[in-house]
Structure 1
Amino acid sequence: MADEDHGEEEQGAHGEAHGHVGRRMNVPLPAKLELKGNLATNWRKFRRMWNNYVIVTRLNNEDNQFQTATLLTCIGSDALDIYDGLAFEDEDERNDIEAVLQRFEEFCLGESLGPASPFINLRSHTSVLSSKMALIQSCEAMVYNDVYRLTFDSSMLVDWLTARGIIGNFAGACPRCGTGELTRKKDPSYGRDGLVWRCRVKSCGQKVSIREGSWFSGSHLTMCQIMKHLYYWVYKTPLHVIQHELKVGSNSTLVDWNMFCREVCMSVIESDSEQIGGPGTTVEIDESKFGKRKYHRGKRVDGVWVLGGIERESRQVFLTSLPDRSADTLIPIIEKYVAKGTTIITDCWKAYSKLGQLGYTHLTVNHSEHFKDPETGAHTNTIESTWRAVKNTGLPASGTTKALYDSYFVEYIFRKKYLSGAEDKYLAFLEAVKKVYTPNMDRVIERLETKPSLERQPLKVKN
């Protein structure tokens, strides 16, 4: 009888085991971990699918090695490369499903990626860096986790910046001795980057900064800090948050770097500048006052008058500060920015009265009577909405010089024209940086023939 009971127990156990196997055969494996895009989000999605799979198939009833093998079967070949680069205390831990999941989570969420991380096998460090580089280069849009992974290792960051042409690749003949070759070497004593281009001929020993001629030249911040600052600036992070996150003691340093970003905007807008409007198009023009009144020792200081125009058809705009609102000031600016043959709509300010004699069709709307002219249909609602948009972009309310306002207006135009429709705003701005600061060997030779260049200072704008 006992034997019969034992046999029934054994049969029941085998039946239950076969049931689990059958259930797993009918449940598809989770889709592989997607490494492109937002890795943190992709990992969380994969982890939910994996957890559900474990519950449905009762996989947790199996031993650790079986569970780990199942995970590695479905996670994908690229993720396997990452797994091979992670370090474990021993083979038992490498086959421990909880340890493996924890290592992947730390990798994907960026919580233990520092150079001294105990979770990176130094012998496999290059493999991990290569995997990370592949991840970042494959990103169609970079999120902050991607920037974090990119900047945790200075060598990888330099490789990435060099590949994109943002810092120079000076490998080749030494510009000083002509016989040696410049190669990139580790040099902890040379700046904060720990890397330098150096001639292989000992008697020459010429060194060239990896920042030479680039946007990074002359700054005391590390390139990692600058790259993170750029991300924060692109996505309009408040200055006090940037200061806290980058651990930068001086607020003025970050103010300068915000100005450097607007310098890039200025340079690109100037190089790509073209008139708006033309025959068959309509441009609305208006002036608006920016800044709040403030009182100091009884003297009232008003804000800044700004002239703006927007082409209805293309939505292209121009904005510029004004010393006054006279015709002698307004007319030359309009002729500079608006093509002849354009239909221009303004209010009834007397300074605009001669536009019809200068090659434009001029329509007006009397705002004291109506917002839209009942006879011609003329209105300036589009430029009015532009003023509201500009004033809501964080423009300083006071304490900014009149000329400096132009840099904020140019930033608004740049963001509207080059960033708003970009697939990735961060990468788009880096392309603009490269356009303005193009490092090349000619600049290195020029510097060697003259005195070393002074540190780059923020743009000085005359009041």
Structure 2
Amino acid sequence: MTASCSSSNSSDLVPFPNTCVNCYLCYGDFCVTFTGKIDLLIELCQRHGVLLSSLNCPTCDEECRIDLKKLAFRCDKSYVANKRRKRCGFFMSVFKGTWFAKSHLDMETNLKFVVLWLQDWFSFKVAETELKLPHMTIADWARFCREVIVSWACKYNKKIGGANQTVEINQSEFGKKKCSVRCVVEGQWAFGGICRETRQFFMVPVEECNRETLLHIVKEKIEPGTTVLSDCWKAYDCMSSAEFKHLKVSRTLNFKDVESGALTNATKRKLQNTKSLALWIRKRRLNLVGHLATSYFKRHVTDSTRRLHVFLHAASQLYPPAK
């Protein structure tokens, strides 16, 4: 998975309509507004496309009603067949094919977990206390949420930089040392870049951090004609032969190159900040993509009250309701 995002304007990051009401809420306000109100929860999800607003019966083509007790579309219409009046009796769960399909959590708990997970202060302990969920259930649903955010992040998979723009690039390895046995846990390399002018950036997990891999990513992620800043790592020497202006800075001498003014602190800081959020990366490399996407999401949809709006629209696209 690769992703590119912009932090210059948070509204540019949300490719969804902003006309919703009652969805820009913090966790506490969400609980007050929606606890025990299944009709409001269904309306909220319908506005964001997570659930169908209406459905015509495939048998008689009449509009079905929503049974709030069974949480299903029902058709109570009657029709004549073989000179006998019969009741249609069509029945389909409102959750079929959606984010809620096959969920063992009820709709209210599901959405409360999503809102809680979207907060910067989310933790397993808080979720266990607030929602009375077991540890493994929290882990599973956090993974499901990350899948939605990955699909959201993939929409920003575009090149950054351009003429008269500067992109800082850097690499970092995600992993922790086991202090008790003094050996390094197998880590995961990530390569990233950030545009100074637009604050757009990309971050790509890579298997091997070598010359060929980095040059391929740079050509794929950075527009030709961009000024590329890097440190003096030998693998970056390939930039000079590409269609970029390449500037280097040696951190062993100074943080800013005296002659060119090259400085790569911004990308280094992005990578370090992402490391601090991805606490589980050291245990399972397969989680890296989801944690990187979550880091993008939380850092660029900075208003936590807006995140539910974006998440629900992304979930509606990843899990479109069955018709």
Q: Name the amino acid aligned to 1:217.
A: A
2:293 is matched with: 410
Distance 1:422 1:276, change over 3 A: farther
Q: Name the amino acid aligned to 1:222.
A: D
Percent sequence identity is 31
Distance 1:380 1:234 in 2: 30
Q: Name the amino acid aligned to 2:75.
A: C
Contact 2:160–2:200 (8 Å) recurs in 1: yes
Contact 1:318–1:413 (8 Å) recurs in 2: no
Q: Name the amino acid aligned to 2:25.
A: M
The Cα of 1:345 is off from its aligned counterpart by 0.7
The Cα of 1:394 is off from its aligned counterpart by 4.8
Coordinate RMSD, CA, aligned = 2.5
Moved more, 154-163 or 339-348: 154-163
Distance 2:49 2:184 in 1: 50
Q: Are 2:93 and 1:209 aligned?
A: yes
Distance 1:283 1:395 in 2: 27
Cα offsets for 1:8-38 (capped at 9, x unmatched): xxxxxxxxxxxxxxxxxxxxxxxxxxxxxxx
Distance 2:108 2:156 in 1: 30
Match of residue 125, structure 2, among 217, 231, 240? 240
Where do residues 391-406 of structure 1 align in structure 2 (5 Å cutoff)?
A: 391-396=275-280, 398-401=282-285, 403-406=286-289
Cα offsets for 1:346-377 (capped at 9, x unmatched): 11112111212211111111122221111111
Q: TM-score, normalization: structure 1?
A: 0.59
Hey, which of these two has a bigger chunk of helix by percent? 1
Where do residues 178-217 of structure 1 align in structure 2 (5 Å cutoff)?
A: 178-187=60-69, 194-201=70-77, 203-217=87-101
Hey, which of these two has a bigger chunk of strand by percent? 2
1:424 is matched with: 306
Distance 1:298 1:313 in 2: 42
Bigger relative CO (Cα 8 Å, ≥ 6 apart): 2
Structure 2, unaligned runs of 5 or more: 1-19, 78-85
Q: TM-score, normalization: structure 2?
A: 0.82
Distance 1:287 1:203, change over 3 A: same
The Cα of 1:186 is off from its aligned counterpart by 4.3
- Determine helix, strand or coil for the equivalent of 2:277: coil
Q: How many residues align?
A: 294
Q: Whose radius of gyration is greater, 1 or 2?
A: 1
Match of residue 104, structure 2, among 201, 215, 220? 220
Distance 1:145 1:298, change over 3 A: closer
Distance 2:140 2:214 in 1: 31
Contact 1:197–1:210 (8 Å) recurs in 2: yes
Distance 2:29 2:304 in 1: 18
- Determine helix, strand or coil for the equivalent of 2:157: coil
Contact 2:23–2:308 (8 Å) recurs in 1: no
Q: Are 2:205 and 1:321 aligned?
A: yes
2:30 is matched with: 147
Q: Name the amino acid aligned to 1:425.
A: R
Distance 1:139 1:295 in 2: 48
Where do residues 254-403 of structure 1 align in structure 2 (5 Å cutoff)?
A: 254-294=138-178, 300-396=184-280, 398-401=282-285, 403=286
Contact 2:151–2:314 (8 Å) recurs in 1: no
Distance 1:329 1:436, change over 3 A: same
Contact 1:422–1:428 (8 Å) recurs in 2: no
Contact 2:118–2:304 (8 Å) recurs in 1: no
